[in-house]
Amino acid sequence: MRRELLGAADVSDDQLAAMVADLLGEETVSIRDVRVDAVDYELSAITTAGRWWVSGHAATPNGDAPFRIFVKHVQNWSRSPQFAFVPPEIREMAAASVPWRTEANVYRSNLADRLPEGLSMPRALAVIDLDELSSAVWLEAIPVHQWPWDSDRFKRAAYLLGRLAGSSRVAPLAQIDDHQWTVLDYLHGRFEHQVVPMLRNDELWAHPLLVDAFGHGLRDRMCDALDAVPAWVEELADAPHLVGHGDACPNNLLGADRPDAFVLIDFGFWKPLPLGFELGQLLLGDIQIGRRHADTLAAIDAEIVPAYLEGLIEEGHGAVPAQVARLHALQMAVFSGLSSMPFEHLGDAPSPALERLAATRAAITTYCLDRIEAAERA
* pLDDT at residue 166 in the model: 96
Ramachandran class of 246: left when φ > 0, alpha when ψ lies in -120 to 50, beta otherwise:
left
| Closest by Cα among 307, 310, 370 to 337 | 370
* pLDDT at residue 1 in the model: 56
SS (H, E, C) the chain: CCCHHHHHHCCCHHHHHHHHHHHHCCCCCEEEEEEEEECCCCCCCCCEEEEEEEEEEEEECCEEEEEEEEEEEEECHHHCHHHHHCCHHHHHHHHHHCCCCHHHHHHHCCHHHHCCCCEECCCEEEEEEEECCEEEEEEECCCCCCCCCCHHHHHHHHHHHHHHHHCCCCHHHCCCCCCCCCHHHHHHHHHHHHHHHHHHCHHHHCCHHHHHHHCCCHHHHHHHHHCCHHHHHHHHHHCCEEEECCCCCHHHEEECCCCCCEEECCCCCCEEEECCCCHHHHHHHHHHCCCCCHHHHHHHHHHHHHHHHHHHHHCCCCCCHHHHHHHHHHHHHHHCHHHCCCHHHCCCCCCHHHHHHHHHHHHHHHHHHHHHHHHHHC
Spans of all domains in the chain = 4-134, 144-377
Residue numbers of the chain with a pLDDT score lower than 70: 1, 42-44, 378
Q: How far is residue 121 from each of residues 81, 134, 263, 330, measured CA to CA in Å?
A: 29, 22, 5, 29
Query: What order of strands is seen across the sheet that includes strand 30-38?
Result: 30-38, 48-60, 63-75, 134-140, 124-131
Q: How far is residue 191 from each of residues 78, 187, 271, 284, 347, measured CA to CA in Å?
A: 19, 5, 20, 19, 22
Residue 255: strand pairing partners: 262
- pTM strictly above 0.95: no
CB atoms within 10 A of CB 57: 16
* pLDDT at residue 42 in the model: 63
* pLDDT at residue 376 in the model: 80
* pLDDT at residue 87 in the model: 81
* pLDDT at residue 343 in the model: 85
Strands 48-60 and 63-75: antiparallel
Q: What is the CATH number of domain 144-377?
A: 3.90.1200.10
Look up residue 59 and give its DSSP letter: E
Q: Which residues of 303-312 are buried (b: 16+ CB within 10 A; e: fewer)?
A: ebbbbbbebb
Encode pLDDT of 311-364 as tens digits: 999 999 988 899 999 999 999 999 999 999 998 888 889 899 999 999 999 999
CB atoms within 10 A of CB 182: 16
